[in-house]
Amino acid sequence: MFTMAIPVLHVSSSVAAEGFYRRLGFRKEFAHRADESKPDPCYMGFSRGGAWLHVSSFSGDGVCGSVAMVLVRDVDRLHEELLQGNVAIALKPTNQSWGNREMYVRDPDGNSIRFAQPAGG
């Protein structure tokens, strides 16, 4: 019945958000602006592999400081990639007591993107 869930993260600047998520390796799939002559408010969709994230600077679409969990095959490899791209890491790859190996980054609005894989592969 269900096919996918896509988190929507609130951002204050679509321009800053786009730059950040592109640095994470996501591709912008679409952008909808209420007024195409202004950068905000804007609703955008990003994808990388099979993962999708949406961000919105429209009032009422979530709050800054939210969390999105993104499942990956190799947290350590992604960590190296993001370090090479000068992405600040909030939590380096860590084996968590609940069985995941996780790494966290924060976007310019304090939203936490948590990359996780099952511990041990």
Domain coordinates in residue numbering, the chain = 8-118
Amino acid at 32: H
Distance CA 47, CA 120 (A): 26
pLDDT tens digits, the chain, 121 residues: what are they? 999 999 999 999 999 999 999 999 999 999 999 999 999 999 999 999 999 999 999 999 989 999 999 999 999 999 999 999 999 999 999 999 999 999 999 999 999 999 999 876 5
CB of 41 within 8 A of CB of 58? yes
φ and ψ at residue 65, rounded to 5 degrees: 95, 15
The structure's pTM equals 0.93
Domain 8-118 CATH class label: alpha beta
